[in-house]
Structure 1
């Protein structure tokens, strides 16, 4: 029995897209360029991804999986207290956003998340659920989903404004850590003394 020559093409297309978004950013993700980098005709991706959004969703899904893997790894090594775990998750999120700007931009494109392709919400929402669970442990008196939502919005804003240089200009900071500490204090309250 011979192997189907297209069996690995889907993965190769996504691999090429991941490499392209990493090197050149989300705006470079065209079907034609991904096909060229994969060594296939510009029409070949449509056999596996009928729309451009479906291919972009598959690439973004890899980004969410990578972020989830990083969060799991850092939480395995983080302090066992919920506040320390929220801080570790938040640092990982910001580091990912800043080190993978093109992928981060792609992952949070509203049209991809709303399209429902490849269950992007299904892979992105568990990370938010984890953040909400940890926030609930730190602030049991509050609505954990609201606290987590506000913190996440703050982290997303820090990531975007830091990337654009606006926060560095406004605060004079050369590291996002003090801003992260301020966000954690604002949303979680002061840390308890040991």
Structure 2
């Protein structure tokens, strides 16, 4: 038919305004990661998904590790945004703030399981190469520290190094989230109600240890 392109006609690479290409490549990488994990990520596949030439990704990423670092950095940025939004929405009490963080963390892992695995994997990245990735990870950690410090200032939480207590919080959150997405918490966390119940119970136990007696 006149005006219709053949199915076999190659698509022309998309053109991007300055600054858009990097974000488009990261989004393409996120999509591929969600579909099949890190094994689906390489610069040629990302270029193909973004609709650009195979050479285009090298304008922003020197190799596959640089691409994965940018994708995982975006994961930490998204996680931080969601935690911040929740902390603004829930009551300003240490328990509710901790519970809000836990709910976001578990939900994020359920929604982005492959991204969550890659964000904390030490197998595919030499993390010391990527300063901005380390900073993004620490930005999430600071949110935990701030909640604990505010609880201490209110006289609700125990004294102690807030960063050390935040490490306990993150360890518990990550263990819970990863066990859930790997289907290792059944039958205790089956379905949304079970996951909510287990998440709340974990925070109740943690808070019992953190709370000032």
TM-score band, normalised by the shorter chain? 0.7 to 0.9
Larger CA deviation: 155-164 vs 142-151: 142-151
The equivalent of 2:184 in structure 1 is: 166
Deviation at 1:172, TM superposition (A): 6.5
The equivalent of 2:208 in structure 1 is: 189
The equivalent of 2:136 in structure 1 is: 123
CA contact (8 A) 1:135 1:144 kept: yes
Deviation at 1:83, TM superposition (A): 1.8
> How many corresponding residue pairs?
188
Q: Partners in 1 of 2:94 and 2:45 — Cα distance?
A: 44
CA contact (8 A) 1:13 1:45 kept: yes
Change in 2 beyond 3 A, CA 1:97/1:9 = same
Superposed CA RMSD: 2.5
Which residue of the other structure, out of 163, 177, 181, is the alignment partner of 2:196? 177
For residues 81-140 of structure 1, what are the alpha-carbon distances to aligned partners after superposition, in whole Å with 9 as ceiling and x for unaligned? 122111101111110011111211222222547234251111121221221222242423
Q: Partners in 1 of 2:161 and 2:33 — Cα distance?
A: 36
Answer 1 or 2: which has greater helix percent.
Answer: 1
Change in 2 beyond 3 A, CA 1:191/1:84 = farther
Q: Partners in 1 of 2:101 and 2:189 — Cα distance?
A: 25
TM-score, normalised with respect to structure 1: 0.84
TM-score, normalised with respect to structure 2: 0.77
**1:144 matched to 2:162:** yes
The equivalent of 1:73 in structure 2 is: 85
Change in 2 beyond 3 A, CA 1:126/1:113 = farther
Change in 2 beyond 3 A, CA 1:83/1:121 = same
Which residue of the other structure, out of 87, 96, 100, is the alignment partner of 1:84? 96
The equivalent of 2:56 in structure 1 is: 44
Larger CA deviation: 122-131 vs 108-117: 108-117
Unaligned runs of at least 5 residues, structure 2? 1-14
Q: Partners in 2 of 1:172 and 1:71 — Cα distance?
A: 22
Change in 2 beyond 3 A, CA 1:67/1:129 = same
Kindly name which structure, 1 or 2, has the bigger radius of gyration based on alpha carbons.
Answer: 2
Q: Partners in 2 of 1:190 and 1:152 — Cα distance?
A: 15
CA contact (8 A) 1:135 1:188 kept: no
Q: Partners in 1 of 2:201 and 2:86 — Cα distance?
A: 21
